Amino acid sequence: MLANVMAQKKAHEVDAWLARRDLQKLILLFYGPDRGLVSERARKVAASTGLSSDDPFSVVRLDAVEIEQTPGRLIDEARTVPMFADRRLIWVRNAGAQKALAEDVKALGQQPPRDAIILIEAGDLKKGSALRAAVEASEHAMALPCYADESRSVDGLIDEELQKSGLSIALDARQLLKRSLGGDRLASRGELEKLSLYASGQKQITLDDVRLMIGDVASLSVDDVIDATLEGKIVDFDVAFARLGGGQAASQVLGSALRQFQALQLMRGTMDNDGRSPASVVASARPPVFFTRRKTVENALASWNGDSIARALASLQSAVLQARRKSDLAEAIARQALLAITVESARRRSRN
């Protein structure tokens, strides 16, 4: 039982644990909906090993599909004796429900490799899924959840990136900037790097700087799109989405929608666990829901249950990744994903 408790961390504990990582944990599973954060944390651990990422003898990169097609592949790689270093790094990406991968991890968790560290990047894994269960049951492994940045984490990310350029930021500019960040760690860093480059030579980033780079008018349009989506108002959605103006804004609204449904998921969980009403949960939400939007969010909580919110989140996460890979199609990808959710909202509200 002790091993099971020690083989997993809560989301807010992950960074502190990584800063003082237990080197006896040889299998690290990074999982969650924020693929950017999953990748960033895995890269930091890889860098901390001192092994060159360009050395194919010391660093082996595998896709989970390869392991699924060749059961035992991960075990063979993990137990291969290193030739030019004292250990090897086995780095697995795109993990999910692959049975062979989970079986290999289970075996390695019971008899860990002596000369290898295994990093696994996965999507959002449910509790009890085979891969998570295999990691959490081993005293030689650790499961590390990666969820979208909360308000405090976004503040830390802003400070970290701006300090690299010797910049500070005005309070009102920070508040506006935070509204556009947090859905995906890599995307947030990209926005901050762009802002830092624009403000190069200044001492402080102002509200006007943020408005110019992020787009205050676009933010207002984004709110309109999100509200129309939650309310199931298809005509209003079409009008608001048409005002966004291009693929970049479309990607922004996908990020905002992702954060909104993550917030709904947390609030719906509180409703289900504590037996509270939507109005009560919204009133006590942190960060607070802006007063003009409270009724919209309350109605969404009453209409959407936990399972349906999870499906919407999966759809949005997929759309975010597709839009990033195919930037020329970002607008069409965003519209299709959000329109589907808008239609679902309309159906759910009509039943209530």
Q: Which fold has domain 7-145?
A: Rossmann fold (3.40.50)
The confidence score (pLDDT) of residue 207 equals 84
How is the beta sheet containing 27-31 ordered, strand by strand? 59-63, 88-95, 116-122, 27-31, 141-145
Structure tokens, 180: 């556009």
SS3 call for 205: strand
The confidence score (pLDDT) of residue 74 equals 94
For the chain, give every domain's residue range. 7-145, 153-351
Q: Closest by alpha carbon to 282, among 310, 261, 301, 256?
A: 301
Give the pLDDT means over successive 10-residue stretches in the chain (352 positions): 57 86 91 83 91 84 90 91 84 90 94 91 88 92 80 78 90 79 71 85 87 54 86 88 68 88 93 90 82 85 93 93 86 93 92 74
The separation between the first and the last C-alpha atoms of the chain, rounded to the nearest angstrom, is 44
Q: Closest by alpha carbon to 267, among 293, 249, 246?
A: 293
CA dist 229 and 216 (Å) reads: 20
The confidence score (pLDDT) of residue 190 equals 79
Q: Which helix (H) or strand (E) holds 121?
A: strand 116-122
The confidence score (pLDDT) of residue 94 equals 87
Write the Ramachandran bin of 215: left for phi over 0, alpha for psi from -120 to 50, otherwise beta.
left
CB 255 within 8 A of CB 320: yes
Measured in degrees and rounded to the nearest 5, phi and psi for residue 245 equal 85, 60
The pTM is what? 0.52
CB 148 within 8 A of CB 261: no
Find the angle CA(304)-CA(183)-CA(249) to the nearest 5 degrees.
95
The confidence score (pLDDT) of residue 127 equals 85
The confidence score (pLDDT) of residue 186 equals 72
